[in-house]
Structure 1
Amino acid sequence: MAMSEPFLAIDWGTTNRRVYLIENGMVRHTERDDAGAAKISDFEREIAAIRQRHGDYPVLMAGMVGSSIGWQETPYVPAPAGMKELASTLHYIDERTAIVPGMSWQAPDGRCDVMRGEEVQLLGAHAAGLVPEEAVLCQPGTHCKWAWLGGNGVERFVTAMTGELFAMLRQHSLLRPQLGGDVADGDAFRAGVAQGQHRDLAASLFGIRAAAMLDALSDADAASYASGVLIGADVANRMEHDKVGRVYILADVYLGTLYASAIAALGGDSVLIDSHETFVAGISTIRELQE
């Protein structure tokens, strides 16, 4: 298959997906919807519909489509690993449809970690020339990824359930009545970051309830403060335990700004990068290496 031939790349998460029509590394068209892997029962029909909308091109997918809740479960590639390892272990549904494998890591202390989809963005950041060969990258989200790039690609990584914890607190915890407001980078968020750096989460989070009872924290500020506590704890741990200096943040502007603010408040430096750009660079490189 010549690289001039267009192909369809799909970043297929649990709750959302984004489809890209790519030709010679350039995005000709894209669409985003909420048809995540957890909502699909007939993936073959979905792919047929995508080809009908965008063209009958080869398809290369990444993310939860390759998980136990996706189309077909694909094995993880153990880190350290780079583009060549991903491209050489693609899982083919048929000769024109393939899934990028996820990546796994087992730390010396026995802690295990996995990811699906993020590896394309992480390696794509370097492929696009947006980060140096050796760099620390952060991908905020429901499950925040921190990854260390080196000469072998992704050398190691760690996942923090920061976003999921915030969602659980907002929906199911004692703090639910207080956390209905918007999260914004301001005084309340940065106060939460300062509290979060102590990493005493159980006590810090209950303190939000107590502060409301004592009129020391308004409900309008509570969500920002709680988010700051969680993000602050995550960032502080990485900066102290892993001696992180400059961090390259792969995210949209909203979430990326929150992490950049927390990193700056705790004495670090960051660069915000568009995660969609890195996905396109990563998936295009893997496609090229198929040849």
Structure 2
Amino acid sequence: MFIAVDWGTTNRRIYAIDDDGAVTATLRDDRGATAVSDYPAEISAMRAQFGDLPVLLAGMVGSNIGWRAVPYVRAPAGAEALAGALAEVAPGVFIVPGVSWQDGDRADVMRGEEVQLLGAVASGAVAGDALLCQPGTHCKWVQMAGGRIARFTTAMTGELFALLRKQGLLAAQLGGAVENGAAFRAGVAEGARRDLAASLFAIRAAGVLGLRDDADAAAHCSGLLIGADVAARLAQADGQVVDILSDPALGGLYQTAVEVLGGTARLHDSQTAFLAGITRIRELAQ
């Protein structure tokens, strides 16, 4: 048995996993990397609750805002490479390294997503050669090759939407719900034009002139941003199916956007992928 932690910036999910790979207990809380200063105490509390077990940590806990900045493994990278580069930060406590990619002066990094990606392949949910999308604050688009992370692109789609909702000219209009309906789909189609700065201002104009109810503005704005992101990736996808690792709500928006723009998408549960990935890394490290 072991304890696995998907430790993000603002929250974390803790799992107790038995020798057969089954989850025997789980806990989700807001003790993300930015909320923790005494990591050894956090580990002691976990072991007190789940048992005195080995601990495998993934995500922002291994960054410069976490417990220790663990060096990235350079892509292409598979589960074997990650298992071989685990960092022991306390007795029986290991951090999974992130993955970096570089092509000339173009570079990208990830922490935590790599476990889901490799887990999706290890579980058989996706093929070893696949195009994967992980929606979120920073959306990852990843080309898998031979079961390894070959290259990837991060788009700040979710963060841009959050910033537009919080401040700036459009903030007052973007208080409505983001629903997977006509306004979102129209936004996706508009976003595919990739004239994003102008399309965003048009939200303001549509509200002022009464062309669109402000209750639909947030959905339309989300569609614009996701549509621009998806259109750029589909242009490079060469007809590949997009395998989306996400929860149903956000993943459903991306699936709709892919389909509106003429592609094909399949939705997979990101938590299931994480568990498969962290279990595989643990097996390879033993």
Q: 1:216 aligns with which of 211, 216, 232?
A: 211
Q: Tell me whether 1:195 sits opposite 2:190 in the alignment.
A: yes
Partner of 2:65: 69
Q: What amino acid sits opposite 1:36 in the alignment?
A: G
Q: Tell me whether 1:255 sits opposite 2:250 in the alignment.
A: yes
Q: Distance in 2 between matches of 1:218 and 1:241?
A: 35
Q: What amino acid sits opposite 1:71 in the alignment?
A: W
CA deviations on 1:212-242 (whole Å, 9 max, x unpaired) are: 0010111110000000000000000001134
Partner of 1:8: 3
Partner of 1:141: 136
Q: What amino acid sits opposite 1:37 in the alignment?
A: A
Name the SS for the 1:21 alignment partner. strand
Structure 1 stretches of 4+ with a deviation exceeding 3 A read none
Q: Does structure 1 retain, via aligned residues, the 8 Å contact 2:135–2:245?
A: yes
- State the 1:52 CA deviation: 1.0
Q: Tell me whether 1:166 sits opposite 2:161 in the alignment.
A: yes
When normalised by structure 1's length, the TM-score is 0.96
Partner of 1:268: 263
Partner of 2:35: 39
Q: Does structure 2 retain, via aligned residues, the 8 Å contact 1:64–1:116?
A: yes
Unaligned runs of 5+ in 1: 1-5
Q: Tell me whether 1:153 sits opposite 2:137 in the alignment.
A: no
Q: Distance in 2 between matches of 1:107 and 1:140?
A: 23
- State the 1:244 CA deviation: 4.6
Partner of 2:51: 55
Name the SS for the 2:235 alignment partner. helix
Q: Does structure 2 retain, via aligned residues, the 8 Å contact 1:238–1:244?
A: no
Name the SS for the 1:8 alignment partner. strand
When normalised by structure 2's length, the TM-score is 0.98
Name the SS for the 1:29 alignment partner. strand
